[in-house]
Amino acid sequence: MMLFNKKTIIFLILLIVAVRFFLYPPQNKNLHKGHNYSVIMPEGWEKKEAENEVIVLSPETDFMTDKPLAVFSIYAKKVEGAALLLDIAFQEFIESYRKSGWKVIKKGEIKIDEQITKWILCQPLEEESPELLLIFFNLDDFNNMTQIQYLAKDVDAFNKYRPTFEKFKDSIKFKKLF
């Protein structure tokens, strides 16, 4: 006498596969987990890590300097002391970039992973330097300051790699209170 029929065996196999998938979902090999966030790295880009920072370099380089045409980075650290207000911290952030030789072209606010995030678009004060720098600044409920940057060699590189950066940025998931 057969203990299980074919349909029961198929059902059990499917149930085991579903439970395994639910309990142990497949991991994205390009997933990077930082201090207070996770992000999916672009395929084929070089990843470098330092304390509190991950840097991602485009595979294409400038033929004269051998530097990458685009660089993405995320810097995150815990801010000690009293809770900061994003608006005040953002103004200090803008001023520090101005003092370090960057001119703010545009600024604004968006949401990344449902969290309010301020941004600025900068270019060097030196007229002959064609670089563009897009920076996003986030302060979360845990007093973690996260800075997301996109540096491009020039306007052409900025436009070429912008869709890749947007996909990178949109994949960011911040650690949540609830």
Nearest-angstrom CA–CA distance, 49 and 56: 9
pLDDT tens digits, one per residue of 65-86? 899 999 999 999 887 765 567 7
Pairing type for strands 31-33 and 37-40 reads: antiparallel
Q: Could you count the other beta carbons within 10 Å of the beta carbon of residue 148?
A: 23
Domains of the chain, CATH where assigned: 28-174 (3.40.1000.10)
Per-residue confidence in pLDDT tens, the chain, 178 aa? 455 677 777 776 766 765 555 555 445 678 988 888 999 999 999 999 988 899 999 999 998 889 999 999 999 988 776 556 778 888 888 898 889 899 999 999 999 999 989 999 999 988 778 999 999 999 887 888 899 999 999 999 999 999 999 999 999 999 877 6
3-state secondary structure of 106: strand
Report the distance separating Cα 11 and Cα 6, nearest Å: 9
Instruction: Write out pLDDT tens, residues 34-77.
Output: 888 999 999 999 999 988 899 999 999 998 889 999 999 999 98
Are the CB atoms for 97 and 122 separated by under 8 Å?
Answer: yes
Q: Is the pTM of this model over 0.75?
A: yes
Q: Residues 165, 70: contact at Cβ < 8 Å?
A: yes
